[in-house]
Structure 1
Amino acid sequence: MNIVIGSLKNIFDDALIAASTDEPVLILGETGTGKEVLARYIHQNSNRKDKIFIPINCAAIPPNLLESELFGYKKGAFTGADRDKKGILEEANGGTVFLDEIGELPIESQVKILRAIEEKEIISVGDTKPKQIDVRFIASTNVDLKAKVEKGEFRKDLYYRLSVFVYKLPPLRDRIYDLPEFVKYFIQSSGKDVKIDSAVMELFFCYPWPGNIRELRSVLVYAIAKSSGDKIQVEHLPDYLIHFCKHPEILRGNNAREKLECFEAYLISETLKEHPEPKEAARFLGISLRTFYRKLKKYRILPK
């Protein structure tokens, strides 16, 4: 998936600077925001573009297998090691390794990754001789790495070594006005000439998209299939998305005032979940406390 849309364009344009170097890159962002897409974009625009790109999900490999997967092992290093085996970093020689969810990397492995970045060498499990490697490192995380550093859960030296180029991908809910372009892109990618009902777009604008771009793509793939390639209506969406809308009759109607009030009530309710204190919620919404209480009464919303 190669998407450079709306507010992402500035990030991808800036990433070309990182692509022109061999320095490490750290990509921050929630799940589904396109971190691997950006990592591949940097690789494809670098002088390593004709070499291999290997993504590794650090959270998916059990800690007891991680080092043998990354650095390889010598014959006899452990039970079942009946031959020498190259690790991922050696296999990626000349190319790029993408360490996804690097925040889940054990402290012991962090030391060895730092050595691989700084000294360009690794030591296989069960070996004593270092091997030279030529690998470009790009890492990503959906957690607060600075907080993990402060807690002693992530090495400070590795954090700063990775932070030469840092890119933070915003969640879809913070760039909601890019949504129509993403919808258009995914529909075009499907190869179907599908129209989308205005009520569906209204629901898309209200929904917070916790799974971000990845979730939007999955929803559209499902809806296109269910609509038989005609026009996507609300009933073609996944059930959880349909049930998210508390007032479907307003969504399908033409009364603009009712639609705005419905969205305002939803926005206040959602804000209270994050900011339960009325004074704090009113400040977050940019309205006076008196106006906030008036709207609570109007929409019969009870703060917890």
Structure 2
Amino acid sequence: MRRILVIDDKDLMRESLADTLQGSGHAVIACASGEEGVKAVSVNNFDLVITDLKMPKMSGIDVVKALRKIDPDVPVVVITAYATIATAVAAMKEGAFDYIQKPFKADALDVIVKKAFELVDLRRENEYLRGELKDRLSEEFVLGNSSAMAGVARLIEKAATSPATVLITGGSGTGKELVARALHFRGPRRSKPFVAVNCAALSSGVLESELFGHERGAFTSATEQRKGRFEVADGGTILLDEVSEMDDELQAKLLRVLQEKTFERVGSNTPITVDVRVVATTNRDLPRAVAEGSFREDLYYRLNVININVPPLQERLEDVEPLAMHFLKKSGSQIKLAPDALHVLMEYSWPGNVRELENIIERAVVLSSSEVITAADIASGLGGVYSSAGRLEALVRKAPLEELERFVIEERLKQLGWHQEKTAKSLSIGVRTLRDKIKKWDLKKNP
């Protein structure tokens, strides 16, 4: 239920407004003066304030000014007579959301109220999403104990406040786009658009139109004018993901944008000037591409003013555990990770980097048959890449003796179909000893 404050010194008008709004399902508080209304806002939260413009002592404009200081996000609608429309416009300049002219019908009031609530919802959603993204970025980047990622975090903090172009390098799945978003949302452009374009996913002609826009009739399917991503990102940041996949012609046009901050839409000769910070990513060796002639040297130097390299996960294995715990938390599940499962994660080479780790944890959470993710759950997700032999070798090299013993017993049980007598005999131990160890480690036969 929405909360609306009505301020009017006329009893009949105030009561009529309150009745109408309550009849529409809103919770209404009515005040007979501007002073009383301002005091109400200072101690309560409202979704909308409706105030008369002409009141003794404190006018509607005074109310608007006071409310901007107390709660700048609450929309204010002023009620005005025909002779005071100019004053109502003045109130809007002071921050009022809209005005409604007396006399008015309930339908007209309902339209303005709905418009005001749409604004309230939009603001709240925007605030929520920005908060979520800020929290996510902060959380992602405090994860990890490696000195390599600490260096990346320091570079982000320094580069975020700079307008310089940034080239983010690293393998697929290392988190390059996350770095780009952190640069934007931790810098002075955070309130402006962040626009990402995947250069590898579009053909050359489509990518040019996507980046710079086009005029109506520029090509067969151009039935209307369309802004490009550079225009949409004006004032903010544009991410050129996998920039190395651009062809020579587009590389030249991008170089001009970086040098002159201008471009033309496809099918137009009119220059458009923008203020955009450019961040690019690549998983290729760009210096080698420059040497081979597939990437412009001048564009490379324009992009590579600041370089942030995101190391592969196999070079920072100390980050595997905190990342795995983060992904478990992110899943919303109460499931835990067994020590032997963590050993498997630590011994894997992670060719798919952080993205692969997240997928493995997500899969294990969904498919695990207990409240604990075991080594078997993890190894099955890694397929044939991580064999029992490989796991045994890892355990021999690093795991405590008890972990090695558990592995051998669990593998032998599987091989012999969980026949305890045969398993005990093959291991030269008693059946009771085997049962004690099964109970101790909570070993279970997978269905």
Q: Same fold (TM over 0.5)?
A: yes
SS at match of 1:27: strand
Tell me the residue number matched to 1:247: 389
Per-residue deviation, 1:229: 6.6
Tell me the residue number matched to 2:304: 163
Tell me the residue number matched to 1:152: 293
Distance (Å, rounded) in 1 between the aligned partners of 2:282 and 2:372: 37
Percent of counterpart pairs with the same letter?
Answer: 37
SS at match of 1:124: coil
Tell me the residue number matched to 1:115: 256
SS at match of 1:39: helix
Distance (Å, rounded) in 2 between the aligned partners of 1:248 and 1:237: 13
In the alignment, residue 94 of structure 1 is paired with which amino acid? G
**Structure 1 pair 59/242, CA: closer, same or farther in 2 (3 Å)?**
closer
Distance (Å, rounded) in 2 between the aligned partners of 1:143 and 1:224: 33
SS at match of 1:75: coil
**Structure 1 pair 38/112, CA: closer, same or farther in 2 (3 Å)?**
same
Distance (Å, rounded) in 1 between the aligned partners of 2:186 and 2:292: 36
Tell me the residue number matched to 2:266: 125
Per-residue deviation, 1:41: 0.4
Tell me the residue number matched to 1:37: 178
**Structure 1 pair 112/153, CA: closer, same or farther in 2 (3 Å)?**
same
Determine whether 1:6 maps to 2:140: no
Distance (Å, rounded) in 2 between the aligned partners of 1:30 and 1:171: 7
SS at match of 2:214: coil
Tell me the residue number matched to 2:198: 57
Distance (Å, rounded) in 2 between the aligned partners of 1:178 and 1:80: 49
Tell me the residue number matched to 2:227: 86
Cα-to-partner distance string for 1:200-247 (whole Å, 9 max, x where unaligned): 111112211111000000100110111257100133236351532232
Tell me the residue number matched to 2:214: 73
In the alignment, residue 389 of structure 2 is paired with which amino acid? H
Determine whether 1:106 maps to 2:268: no
Tell me the residue number matched to 2:17: none
Determine whether 1:218 maps to 2:359: yes
Which structure carries more relative contact order (alpha carbon 8 Å, separation 6+)? 1
Q: Is the 8 A contact 2:364 2:381 kept in 1?
A: no
* Greater displacement, 23-32 / 113-122: 113-122
In the alignment, residue 100 of structure 1 is paired with which amino acid? D
Distance (Å, rounded) in 1 between the aligned partners of 2:337 and 2:263: 53
Distance (Å, rounded) in 1 between the aligned partners of 2:221 and 2:175: 38
Distance (Å, rounded) in 1 between the aligned partners of 2:226 and 2:154: 39
SS at match of 2:316: helix
Per-residue deviation, 1:29: 0.2
Identify unmatched segments of 5+ residues in structure 1. Answer: 260-304
Cα-to-partner distance string for 1:10-40 (whole Å, 9 max, x where unaligned): 2112211111111100000000001011000
Per-residue deviation, 1:258: 9.9
**TM-score of the superposed pair, with normalisation by structure 2:** 0.55
Tell me the residue number matched to 1:289: none
SS at match of 2:356: helix
CA RMSD, aligned part only? 2.3
2:333 equivalent among 186, 192, 195: 192
Tell me the residue number matched to 2:189: 48
In the alignment, residue 247 of structure 1 is paired with which amino acid? A
Q: Is the 8 A contact 2:234 2:276 kept in 1?
A: yes
1:27 equivalent among 162, 168, 172: 168
**Structure 1 pair 66/248, CA: closer, same or farther in 2 (3 Å)?**
closer
Per-residue deviation, 1:190: 1.7
In the alignment, residue 169 of structure 1 is paired with which amino acid? V
Greater C-alpha radius of gyration? 2
Distance (Å, rounded) in 2 between the aligned partners of 1:198 and 1:116: 53
In the alignment, residue 143 of structure 1 is paired with which amino acid? R
Per-residue deviation, 1:192: 1.9
Per-residue deviation, 1:196: 1.2
In the alignment, residue 300 of structure 2 is paired with which amino acid? Y
In the alignment, residue 167 of structure 2 is paired with which amino acid? L
**Structure 1 pair 56/95, CA: closer, same or farther in 2 (3 Å)?**
same
Tell me the residue number matched to 2:156: 15
**TM-score of the superposed pair, with normalisation by structure 1:** 0.80
Q: Is the 8 A contact 1:102 1:140 kept in 2?
A: yes
Q: Is the 8 A contact 1:19 1:43 kept in 2?
A: yes
Equivalent pairs counted in the alignment come to: 260
Tell me the residue number matched to 1:285: none
Q: Is the 8 A contact 2:379 2:387 kept in 1?
A: no
In the alignment, residue 145 of structure 2 is paired with which amino acid? G
Q: Is the 8 A contact 2:212 2:266 kept in 1?
A: yes
